[in-house]
Amino acid sequence: MITEGNMWLNDTIGVVPKNSWAIDPFGYSPTMAYLLRRMGFENMLIQRTHYELKKELALQKNLEYIWRQNWDAEESTDIFTHMMPFYSYDIPHTCGPEPAICCQFDFARMHGFNYELCPWGEHPVEINHENVQERALKLLDQYRKKSTLYRTNTLLVPLGDDFRYINIDEAEAQFRNYQMLFDYINSNPSLNAEATFGTLEDYFGTLREEVDRINYSLPGEVGSGQIGGFPSLSGDFFTYADRQQDYWSGYYVSRPFFKAVDRVLEQTLRASEIMMALLHGYCQRAQCEKWATGFAYKMTAARRNLALFQHHDGVTGTAKDHVVWDYGTRMHTSLQDLEIFMSKAIEVLLGIRHDKSDHNPSQFESEQVRSKYDVQPVHKAIGAREGTSQSVVFFNPLEQGREEIVMLIVDRPDVTILDSNWTCVTSQVSPELQHGKSKIFTGRHRVHWKASVPAMGLQTYYVANGFVGCEKAKPAKLKYFSTSNSFSCPAPYDCSKIGGGVAEIQNRHQTLTFDIKHGLLRKVTHKDGSINDVGEEIGMYSSYGSGAYLFKPNGDAQPIIEAGGHMVISEGLMVQEVYSYPKTTWEKTPISHSTRIYNGDNTVGELLIEKEYHVELLGQDFNDRELIVRYKTDLDNRRIFYSDLNGFQMSRRETYDKIPMQGNYYPMPSLAFMQGSNGKRFSVHSRQSLGVAGLKEGWLEIMLDRRLLRDDGRGLGQGVMDNRPMNVIFHILFESNISSTSNPVSNPLPLSPSLLSHCVGAHLNYPLHAFVAKNPQELSMLPPPRSFSPLAAPLPCDLHIVNFKVPRPSKYSQQLIGDSRFVLILQRRHWDTSYCQNCYSQCTSVANKPVNLFNMFKELEVLNVKATSLNLLHEDIEMLGYMEQVGDVGQEGHVFISPMEIQAYKLVLRPHQ
Q: What residues are annotated to the active site? A: 24
| Dihedral (CA of 906, 911, 912, 913) sign | negative
User: Which is nearest to 95 in space by CA: 181, 166, 183?
Assistant: 181
Cα–Cα distance for residue pair 912/824, rounded to 1 Å = 19
Residue 216 CB neighbour total at 10 angstroms: 17
Distance CA 165, CA 113 (A): 11
For helices 168-186 and 132-147, angle between their N-to-C axes, nearest 10 degrees: 80
CB 900 within 8 A of CB 799: no
3-state secondary structure of 855: helix
Residue 699 sits at φ, ψ, to 5 deg, of: -95, 140
What gap in Å lies between CA 732 and CA 449, rounded to an integer? Answer: 21
Which segments within 659-813 are labelled E, that is strand? 666-668, 671-675, 681-686, 690-693, 699-707, 726-735, 769-773, 777-778, 787-788, 799-805
Rounded CA separation 277/274 (Å): 5
Q: Which residues contact 137 (CB under 8 A, 6 or more apart)?
A: none
Cβ–Cβ < 8 Å for 618, 625: no
What letters, b where the CB count within 10 A reaches 16 and e where it falls short, cover 606-622?
Answer: bbbbbbbbbbbbeeeeb
Burial of 22 (0-12, 13-18, 19+ CB in 10 A): middle
3-state secondary structure of 913: coil
Q: Give the integer Cα–Cα distance in Å for 59 and 123.
A: 31
What distance in Å separates the CA atoms of residue 307 and residue 300, rounded to the nearest whole number? 10
Contact in structure between 265 and 323 (CB atoms under 8 Å): no
For the chain, count helices (H), then strands (E).
13, 47
Neighbours of 842 (CB within 10 A): 18
> Phi, psi (5° rounding) for residue 459?
-140, 140
Separation CA 389–CA 408 (nearest Å): 14
Cα(722)–Cα(618) distance, integer angstroms = 8
Q: Report the amino acid identity of residue 861.
A: E
Question: Which of 631, 419, 413 has its CA nearest to residue 537?
Answer: 631
Select from 464, 374, 366 the least CA-distant residue to 420: 464
Q: 535, 632 in Cβ contact below 8 A?
A: yes
What DSSP string describes 721-732?
A: -----EEEEEEE
Which residues, at least 6 apart from 221, have a Cβ–Cβ distance to it below 8 Å?
231
* Distance from C-alpha of 465 to C-alpha of 417, rounded to nearest angstrom: 9
Contact 231, 222 (CB under 8 A): yes
- What is the Cβ-side half-sphere exposure of residue 522, based on CA atoms within 13 angstroms? 12
Q: Round to whole Å and give the CA distance between 139 and 732.
A: 57
How far from the centroid of its chain's Cα atoms is residue 849's Cα? 29
What is the distance between the alpha carbons of residues 414 and 335, in angstroms, rounded to a whole number?
33
If you count them, how many residues does the chain have? Answer: 913
Share in percent of the chain as helix, strand, coil (round to 5): 25, 30, 50
